[in-house]
Amino acid sequence: MKLPKINILDEKNKTLRLTSKNVTFPLSEEDKKLINDIIQYLTMSQIEEYYKKYDLRPGMGLAFIQLGIPKNIFVIVEEVDEEEFKNYVIINPKMISHSEELIYVGEGEGCLSVNREVEGIVPRYARMRVSYQDIDGNQQEIRVREDISVAFQHEMDHLNGILFVDKIDKNNPFKDREKMREI
Ligand code: NI
């Protein structure tokens, strides 16, 4: 596998703060290629052979805005089994509903745009239902839970110019921990 050349913006870059816009269909060939490049990059970043070879930080999600493109598109690559992956290509997402229950990732969230260790709790809905369009523009609906629900919320925040670090209380990074379930 060849590592796609993509340039991921760092958190200091103000472009990450833009609000992304909905896209129309059909997608451009350029956007389709970028989606495939992101899938390949995220997949390789989760395979030991490649993340060692290319010195990658493992990541499961990336939004277009992290490449400087303010379009409502994100990709999640989930390792469902050893080196077996499931891809989510989510375009123009909208949250329909969410659980009351909140969760947080115990080891902390990570982001390919945030190159430092960040301590603290990011409250996320345990489950939610999202409508979106697939790569062909078909309207779809998905119900996500646990870590995939966190990943969806993390990426949907990117589309609104929000980074996970914004959601951590700097004076009290573990605030309200007892009100949420750790995953
Ligand atoms: Ni991120």
Structure tokens given for 181: 């379930």
Ligand 1 center–CA 100 separation, angstroms: 24
φ/ψ bin of 55: left (φ > 0), alpha (ψ from -120 to 50), beta (otherwise)? left
Q: How far apart are CA 143 and CA 128, in angstroms?
A: 6
Residue 83 has pLDDT above 90, yes or no: no
Ligand 1 center–CA 116 separation, angstroms: 12
Query: φ and ψ at 53, to 5 degrees?
Result: -60, -40
What pLDDT is attached to residue 96? Answer: 98
pTM summary value: 0.97
Domains along the chain with CATH numbers: 14-182 (3.90.45.10)
Structure tokens given for 130: 């999202």
The CA-based angle 61-62-66, given to 5 degrees, is 155
Residue 65 has pLDDT above 90, yes or no: yes
Q: How far apart are CA 20 and CA 107, in angstroms?
A: 29
The pairs formed by 165-174 with CB atoms below 8 angstroms and a separation of 24 or more are 165/11, 165/111, 165/114, 165/118, 167/122, 167/123, 168/118, 168/119, 168/120, 168/121, 168/122, 169/120, 173/119, 173/120, 173/121, 174/120, 174/121
Q: pLDDT per residue over 143-157, tens digit each?
A: 999 999 999 999 999
Ligand 1 center–CA 152 separation, angstroms: 10
Active site residue 178: no
88-96: average pLDDT: 98
Ligand 1 center–CA 112 separation, angstroms: 6
From 101, 117, 155, 182, the catalytic residue = 155
* Residue 12's pLDDT band (cuts 50, 70, 90): very high
